[in-house]
Structure 1
Amino acid sequence: MSDKERSSQSNVKKYYKSTGFCSFGIGSEAAEVEVKDGKILRIRPLRYDSKYDTGKIRKWKITARGKTFEPCKKTPLGPFSYVYENRVYSPNRILYPLKRVDWDPDGERNPQNRGKSKFVRISWDEAAELIAKEIKRVCEKYGPTAVLVQGDGHGETKAVHGPHGCHLALMNLLGGCTVQARQPDSWEGWYWGAKHAWGQDPVGQGRQANLIKDISEHTTMMLFWGCDPETTPLGWGGMSASRLCFWFRELGIKIISICPDLNYAAAVHADKWIPVLPNTDAALQLAIAYTWITEDIYDKEYVATHTYGFEEFKKYVLGEEDGVAKTPKWAEKLCGVPARIIKALARKWAKEAVTIAHCNGGSYIRSCYSTEPGRLEVLLLAMQGLGKPGTGQLKFFEWQLFGLHDQNPLPRSEVLPSVEGAYRGAVLEPPEKGQFIPKTLIPKAILSDEPISWYGVTLAGMPKEDQFNEYRYPEVGCSEVHMIWSDTPCWTVCWNGGNKWIEALRSPKIECVVVQHPWFENDCLFADIILPINTKFEEEDISVDILNGNYNLVLYEGQCVEPLGESKSDYEAVAEVAKKLGLYEQYTQSKTVKEWIKTGFEKSGISDRISYEEWLEKGYYIIPPAEDWENDEPGFSPFYKDPENKPLDTPTGKIEFYATGLAEHFPDDKERPPVPHWIPYGESHQESLQHPRSEKYPFLIVSNHPRWRVHAQLDDVPWLREIPTCKVKGPDGYLYEPLWINPVDAKALGVKTGDVVKIYNDRGWVLGGAYVTERIMPGVVYQDHGARLDLIVPGESDRSGSNNLICPTNTTSKNCAGEVTSGYLVGVEKVDVEALKKQYPEVFNRPYDARYGVDQAAWIIGGDE
């Protein structure tokens, strides 16, 4: 049956929704959601000609090398959007408020049982009353900063209904709180390192303006370094990155992938794969610099006019500082790349117009001391004349974020839209009142008996100078945390040292934990009260789509289906608590959802182009490209042409081989010195094959953004779980998170594909399903991060393979509060599932459905009613 016949027979309603998973309502993919009899029938791309005559839309077009690249006629949806109806109707949906059975606000609270105890259904009235009473009690006893608000990160794209932080708006009415400040988790090495080489606030990645046109016309070689630039954008920009990868190949640009794993983009697009050991890229980069210097094949004139401190860097590279020349032979022993390959790469690079491509940075930039490879990449680009035609650093994701046109490598649109006028909650800046703790330091802050301190607010977007400011917890005049209220319950499976977070959640200091979420998963297991939240398909909202790679859009999101069970939006859920506190009118500002949508539209940047009524009727507005977009100077071209009048945002205005800010503020920091160094291990980390710990834990693990999830989301989607590379079926029928193992290592371990293995270190252990493949280099294992929790012993072990539980608890380095979630040491051994069943019968006999994973209704008394 054709689409037309199907639609005519089903009386389908069509709504335009942004179905991405980015927070703050500033990205994602526009889609059509078709509904029949009150249920989602299917999701498909938004076709631009469905409401508009595409012939009237001004298009952009890039013509290069006799070929043409232009927008699609529909949004390039990724697989996650197509399968999202599975997520909406997942049996893991929370359908009514819940309370932990042995948490008694008037008696024993039993914090030690969080993660073990079951839950019982309660009414919305009781839940809201309990939360309001706890807030009053805690604020009166300790002060408002005793409440920690967790409101950031990987949720659905919403605006009115809360892109995260509706509870922060309420707490600000009560005098403030403690805010969890999300550090730039996908940009750690750029944020804490590269900023001190080339500036580039807000996140430290290079200027993107009009780079696609420049690359298409001039680039001859592209490096995919440390990541899979096609996989990560699937959750935000759909297939837009994939289109670009195929376009670059069509143009004949040579692609080299440098990473430990032959990931999807490397396998499909790369002309050559150079495997490098995790967390050793700095050694490889220094050896490339050594080759250029000793063979005199770098741009000396550019270095002399556009950079600062090169001679200090040169001394380190040549070994004049420490007596160790950073030769390719020296690097070979450290990074696993043969010296001849290093020299060949260096010489090829020196002859070509090279662009380095990333999606944020991947595991390459989320490891120990990632500041060093982050800075060294900038310096290598500088040594070959950064800003020349065809050179730069391309990022495949998060274009135009932070309201900056120069973050968009595609043709600039006439308007960069925003719906911040409709936001009812977002942790976008330091708290109005109270104190904050970096997300990476939350467990340490709670568990410490002494005040802790760190540098930088850590919120992505803060200027680099903020990294020189010292902060502390508790702040003077503020309380320690005694209550947690979260709308982002994925800390355990997405951040550093999740087992420490479990320990913190079970601390007697924490008297109440409130979680609001659509699904019963991950941190929800440790809550005292859970509020059921609906998905964006059950709400009316407004959003923008600025990541689809075609056009910028402002969308009206009609409600597709009725809320499941008793679920409410985050905005509405907090409103219920506000009523009990007598703050409903102040919280809502006496506006309806419709009125907030209209406010968002009026401040979106398109209200002078289309009437509100027409926009509502059409469902979206396409913003055409700027007529003069082709004249935009690409990337670092302005700096390349005129460094004096177009300086960079560094203290010297130049690319700093010697970071003057670091030298002034942290002159004795051996983990982030003024000149970037090779740091295998140090005070903060000993996660290196050069360290004696490797005798006990002989493998380095790579943990990337998942191919078939968005961080912790979508791990319960049947259509994805049945993909062989998504899960490995164990002998017990359980679908385990794959652990890639090289055949050489598998033979030594006595492991074959399908075996169950333990991945362990001194921080705990998780299980995985062995996947023996040449796509991972020897000495390295690979397992995606973000698997949904299936705890064996809370705070110690997990069946699902959620390796964030056992990654380092320490941050990037002692003065950098970033996360470390890849490139650390583990041991691997085959396990006997039958023996584990006997040791942990309750865990291994839990109700299990291979389509959705662990039946979390087993945690709810009467949950199957």
Structure 2
Amino acid sequence: MTRTQESTAHWGTFQVEISDDGRAVVETRPYPDDPDAAPAIAAVAEGLRHPSRVTRPAVRRRWLERGPGPDPLRGSPDDPYVEVDWDEALDLLADELRRVRAAHGNRAIFGGSYGWGSAGRFHHAQSQLHRFLNSIGGYTRSINDYSRGASLVLLPHLIGPIGMRELRNRPPSWGHIAEHTDLLIAFGGLRRSNTWVVPGGHDRHVGTRLARDAAASTRIVSVSAQRDDTLTELDAEWVGIRPGTDTAVLLALTHTLVAEGLADDAFLATHTVGADRVRAYLRGETDGVEKTPEWAEALSGVPARTIRDLARRAASGRTLVNVTYSLQRAEHGEQAVFAAVTFAGFLGQIGLPGGGFTHGYGSMGDYGVGVAPVPLPTFPQGRNPVTDFIPCARITDLLLHGGETIPYDGGTLDLPDIRLVYWAGGNPFHHHQDLRRLSEALTGVDTLVVNEFHWTPTARHADIVLPAATGLERDDLAAGAGDTRLRTMPRAVEPVGDAREEFWIYDQLARRLDADYAEGRDSREWLEKIYEDWRERPDTPDAPPFADFWRDGGTPLPQHHYRDGAFTDFRADPVAHPLDTPSGRIELFSATLDGFGLDDTAGHAVWIDTAEAAGSPYDLQLLCTQPSHRLHSQLDMAAPSRSTKVAGREPVRLHPEDAAARGLTDGDLAIVRSAQGSLLAGVVTTDTLLPGVARMHTGAWYDPSAPRIADCINGNVNVLTKDIGTSHLTQASSGARVAVSIARYDGEVPPIRAYEPPPLATR
């Protein structure tokens, strides 16, 4: 006998089947009426009691014996841990926090949470950690995100902070596109698997169905190195493009509009600034290179006639230009976004229904559902007295170069001398680049603390590992932006082993440090408080009392279906409704950016070549894409993720011509190398890629246990990627592509150790 209840993850709401005695989760499965459920849902039950689960507090033996300090063996695969009880673990951590604060100040603590640990609104790892650190005097924080880091810095200069929010919260819906849009040009494709994921999860996945409906009346062109980067059902036209050359094609498209008299000069004159500077650049007056379609063809491989035809088609009807997040996750990746805004500006359709520029279709499941986000319950974080911060993708620079500075957004940032890193709710050995460099950086801190469900690569670098309860082991509530319901997440089973809610962990630590974290409430009381505080808002008038909400399993959210997309008022009257840019208009040339005097950023969109030097051994461009059967690195050990493996490793996909030239066939084991590192991967051949292009998913658990063979024997692509900022302006992640070599591997095949707990020792 079993019983069934509901829960939520970032990949959606699902059913949890629980044994009759309430001790075990038998199965997790999507709702039968979910039109496009994520495969990762099936992994949740397996992950609950997987052998990699952290079940007791553990302390790295060398740290326990030697005390805090840099340690070159931190992260070694054979570095043993000692399991301790909760009182000892918390006493040790409280003493270390006290020491660091007294000797170095709170700015020496880095609060490294990067979300995604749970879809819950209360048990949100980032909010909980930050509230705790604020309660003891603050911490050095990170800003922006890995997904949109370059865009988050660039776009406010072009369309203003409010315009940026409109772009995110009120893009043309798929319904608007179906009604108004003749042509949707998708730079970077419209990947289906990305639509499964929403921060906070969605009650049902509707984006794919809405996109299919729109495709019946809207022609879609996918500009990508991957033909399968767009849902098959959309019947998209594929324009194959060499990775990293989208900016060149966008500039050539704009050049065609200018050269053939197709640009909307009236819109440019009333709603933008800088069009003349852009025209001069396109004509080659500033650098001697005219940005013609022939010029772009030589760089991108897209025929000049295709570029001209696409520009003419765009100008002949209602056109929406979309850029996925992935394009700006590369060296100078913000230029593709800048060039797309420029192309859309010259088309003159920004603010028209179903037209203009957008940035997110194919990147996130809530984008384009047509429902404006409403405020949701949140756990208050308090105030951080420490003002120091870094862009999140610069953590290795922070740890290696404390006391120095880096340029950022026209100024400079001080890098504090970090002594203690506290990480919760994320795995930097998925998100970050050049993992050998990250591992080296972590050897230099005094103490690394991790709250975790499983022995992830980050946990295996930590000095103190605290077992956290999962989303199935605690009460919470959940919803995502544009969702239909605020849903309950009732506890399904008791926590495994000695795992505890992070709220309890922080409360116990705060008590030891004479701080007030809980304000006299337990976690259930806080859950009720954040709900009731939300219910009292004037924009949630129909929400029931907490007891009724919990009994009913949720409550409907206000559905503000917007009719118009972003920039409608601005388009109608740019004087009465200006943007919050210095000019009040769209800044195709930004005097602010130009005034920064950066050597890798100009006042307008520019082409900056990042191609490998002639004769480089790294002759393939590897695209590093989001996985389809897991979220980031979560539950990589479970069956859905394992079902995608080849030769027991993360697969690398190659065009048949490239595979044949290297003597590779499906199922072979290959060694993939870059200037940063090497990995083993299983081979899959596919003609959906352009020749010269390879593809791997991110998120395989880092396994450095056989360095004589490769830096990661499990296929973690971030041992290959460069840990450099996109530019001096944005300092964002550049991990979406990297130049590599790929060769057949016929040597010793080492066992995968990534999913094993570390060795345990006695004192």
Give the TM-score taking structure 1 as reference length.
Answer: 0.81
Instruction: State the partner residue of 1:471.
Output: 413
Instruction: State the partner residue of 1:50.
Output: none
Q: In structure 1, give the amino acid aligned to 2:506.
A: V
Determine helix, strand or coil for the equivalent of 2:534. coil
Q: In structure 1, give the amino acid aligned to 2:604.
A: V
Identity, % of aligned positions:
24
Distance in 2 (CA, whole Å) between partners of 1:103 and 1:317 is 59
Instruction: State the partner residue of 1:717.
Output: 638
Farther-moved stretch of structure 1 (135-144 vs 162-171) = 162-171
Distance in 1 (CA, whole Å) between partners of 2:574 and 2:541 is 39
Distance in 2 (CA, whole Å) between partners of 1:845 and 1:801 is 13
Matched, 1:537 2:468: no
Query: Is the 1:228–1:263 contact (alpha carbons within 8 Å) kept by the matching residues of 2?
Result: no
Determine helix, strand or coil for the equivalent of 1:148. strand
Instruction: State the partner residue of 1:857.
Output: 757
Instruction: State the partner residue of 2:214.
Output: 248
**2:604 pairs with 675, 693, 707, which one?**
675
Instruction: State the partner residue of 2:441.
Output: 504
Query: Is the 2:100–2:108 contact (alpha carbons within 8 Å) kept by the matching residues of 1?
Result: yes
Deviation of 1:595 after TM superposition, in Å, equals: 1.5
Pair 393,86 (structure 1): closer, same or farther in 2 beyond 3 Å = farther
**1:705 pairs with 626, 633, 644, which one?**
626
Determine helix, strand or coil for the equivalent of 1:740. strand
Q: In structure 2, give the amino acid aligned to 1:392.
A: G
**2:503 pairs with 571, 595, 598, which one?**
571
Deviation of 1:280 after TM superposition, in Å, equals: 0.9
Matched, 1:214 2:167: no
Determine helix, strand or coil for the equivalent of 2:414. strand
Instruction: State the partner residue of 1:320.
Output: 285
Instruction: State the partner residue of 1:306.
Output: 271
Instruction: State the partner residue of 1:390.
Output: 354
Q: In structure 2, give the amino acid aligned to 1:34.
A: E
**1:187 pairs with 131, 145, 148, which one?**
148
Instruction: State the partner residue of 2:7.
Output: 17
**1:745 pairs with 636, 651, 658, which one?**
658
Deviation of 1:144 after TM superposition, in Å, equals: 2.6
Q: In structure 1, give the amino acid aligned to 2:180.
A: H
Instruction: State the partner residue of 1:33.
Output: 16
Distance in 1 (CA, whole Å) between partners of 2:220 and 2:432 is 31
Distance in 2 (CA, whole Å) between partners of 1:182 and 1:715 is 27
Determine helix, strand or coil for the equivalent of 2:680. strand
Pair 132,364 (structure 1): closer, same or farther in 2 beyond 3 Å = same
Alpha-carbon displacement from aligned partner over 1:121-171 (angstroms, at most 9, x marks no partner): 221121111111211222222223222221223321123333324333233
Determine helix, strand or coil for the equivalent of 1:34. strand
List gaps (5 residues or longer) in structure 1. 1-9, 21-27, 48-72, 402-406, 456-466, 475-479, 682-687, 730-734, 838-843, 848-853
Query: Is the 2:111–2:421 contact (alpha carbons within 8 Å) kept by the matching residues of 1?
Result: yes
Instruction: State the partner residue of 1:728.
Output: 646
Distance in 2 (CA, whole Å) between partners of 1:624 and 1:511 is 48
Distance in 1 (CA, whole Å) between partners of 2:635 and 2:4 is 25
Pair 177,190 (structure 1): closer, same or farther in 2 beyond 3 Å = closer
Deviation of 1:706 after TM superposition, in Å, equals: 1.4
Deviation of 1:496 after TM superposition, in Å, equals: 2.6
Query: Is the 1:151–1:164 contact (alpha carbons within 8 Å) kept by the matching residues of 2?
Result: yes
Alpha-carbon displacement from aligned partner over 1:255-279 (angstroms, at most 9, x marks no partner): 1111111235254424311111111
Alpha-carbon displacement from aligned partner over 1:648-703 (angstroms, at most 9, x marks no partner): 22211212221122123x1x32311001110014xxxxxx14x34x6222222111
Determine helix, strand or coil for the equivalent of 2:609. coil
Instruction: State the partner residue of 2:430.
Output: 493
Deviation of 1:399 after TM superposition, in Å, equals: 8.2
Determine helix, strand or coil for the equivalent of 2:18. strand
**2:81 pairs with 116, 119, 122, which one?**
119
Determine helix, strand or coil for the equivalent of 2:697. coil
Farther-moved stretch of structure 1 (332-341 vs 383-392) = 383-392
**1:278 pairs with 227, 234, 243, which one?**
243
Q: In structure 2, give the amino acid aligned to 1:803.
A: V
Determine helix, strand or coil for the equivalent of 2:389. strand
Pair 30,855 (structure 1): closer, same or farther in 2 beyond 3 Å = closer
Q: In structure 1, give the amino acid aligned to 2:384.
A: P
Distance in 2 (CA, whole Å) between partners of 1:340 and 1:534 is 58
Instruction: State the partner residue of 1:7.
Output: none
Deviation of 1:227 after TM superposition, in Å, equals: 4.0
Q: In structure 1, give the amino acid aligned to 2:646.
A: V
Instruction: State the partner residue of 1:754.
Output: 667
Distance in 2 (CA, whole Å) between partners of 1:577 and 1:596 is 18
Pair 449,337 (structure 1): closer, same or farther in 2 beyond 3 Å = same
Distance in 1 (CA, whole Å) between partners of 2:121 and 2:406 is 33
Pair 228,802 (structure 1): closer, same or farther in 2 beyond 3 Å = farther
Farther-moved stretch of structure 1 (260-269 vs 202-211) = 202-211
Q: In structure 2, give the amino acid aligned to 1:753.
A: D
Pair 241,833 (structure 1): closer, same or farther in 2 beyond 3 Å = farther
Instruction: State the partner residue of 1:330.
Output: 295
Distance in 2 (CA, whole Å) between partners of 1:700 and 1:308 is 36
Instruction: State the partner residue of 2:524.
Output: 594
Distance in 2 (CA, whole Å) between partners of 1:364 and 1:800 is 26
Pair 822,408 (structure 1): closer, same or farther in 2 beyond 3 Å = closer
Pair 411,523 (structure 1): closer, same or farther in 2 beyond 3 Å = closer
Deviation of 1:191 after TM superposition, in Å, equals: 2.0
Pair 105,204 (structure 1): closer, same or farther in 2 beyond 3 Å = farther
Distance in 1 (CA, whole Å) between partners of 2:574 and 2:255 is 26
Alpha-carbon displacement from aligned partner over 1:592-622 (angstroms, at most 9, x marks no partner): 2222112111122436532222212112001
**1:104 pairs with 45, 64, 73, which one?**
64
Instruction: State the partner residue of 2:391.
Output: 438
Determine helix, strand or coil for the equivalent of 1:493. helix
Distance in 2 (CA, whole Å) between partners of 1:310 and 1:195 is 18
Query: Is the 1:749–1:829 contact (alpha carbons within 8 Å) kept by the matching residues of 2?
Result: yes
Distance in 2 (CA, whole Å) between partners of 1:787 and 1:581 is 38
Q: In structure 2, give the amino acid aligned to 1:540.
A: D
Farther-moved stretch of structure 1 (213-222 vs 261-270) = 261-270
Deviation of 1:36 after TM superposition, in Å, equals: 2.3
Matched, 1:84 2:44: yes
Instruction: State the partner residue of 2:370.
Output: 410
Query: Is the 1:29–1:547 contact (alpha carbons within 8 Å) kept by the matching residues of 2?
Result: no
Q: In structure 2, give the amino acid aligned to 1:104.
A: L
Alpha-carbon displacement from aligned partner over 1:83-142 (angstroms, at most 9, x marks no partner): 322222322211111122222355586711112102232211211111112112222222
Alpha-carbon displacement from aligned partner over 1:401-451 (angstroms, at most 9, x marks no partner): 9xxxxx8651458xx24111xx1659xxx8333532332222122222651
- The number of equivalent residue pairs is 746
Query: Is the 2:56–2:85 contact (alpha carbons within 8 Å) kept by the matching residues of 1?
Result: yes
Pair 813,290 (structure 1): closer, same or farther in 2 beyond 3 Å = same
Alpha-carbon displacement from aligned partner over 1:500-544 (angstroms, at most 9, x marks no partner): 11001112xx12111111011121111111111111110012222
Distance in 1 (CA, whole Å) between partners of 2:187 and 2:636 is 27
Q: In structure 1, give the amino acid aligned to 2:397.
A: K
CA RMSD of aligned residues (A): 2.7
Determine helix, strand or coil for the equivalent of 1:565. coil
Give the TM-score taking structure 2 as reference length.
Answer: 0.92
Deviation of 1:310 after TM superposition, in Å, equals: 0.6
Distance in 2 (CA, whole Å) between partners of 1:491 and 1:204 is 30
Instruction: State the partner residue of 2:593.
Output: 662
1:543-622 maps to which residues of 2 (within 5 A)?
A: 543-548=478-483, 551=484, 553-583=485-515, 586-605=516-535, 606=540, 609-622=543-556
Pair 536,293 (structure 1): closer, same or farther in 2 beyond 3 Å = same
List gaps (5 residues or longer) in structure 2. none
Distance in 1 (CA, whole Å) between partners of 2:299 and 2:728 is 23
Instruction: State the partner residue of 2:225.
Output: 260
Distance in 2 (CA, whole Å) between partners of 1:810 and 1:204 is 30
Deviation of 1:76 after TM superposition, in Å, equals: 5.5
Alpha-carbon displacement from aligned partner over 1:450-504 (angstroms, at most 9, x marks no partner): 512332xxxxxxxxxxx34432123xxxxx1112111145112212322211001
Deviation of 1:818 after TM superposition, in Å, equals: 0.6
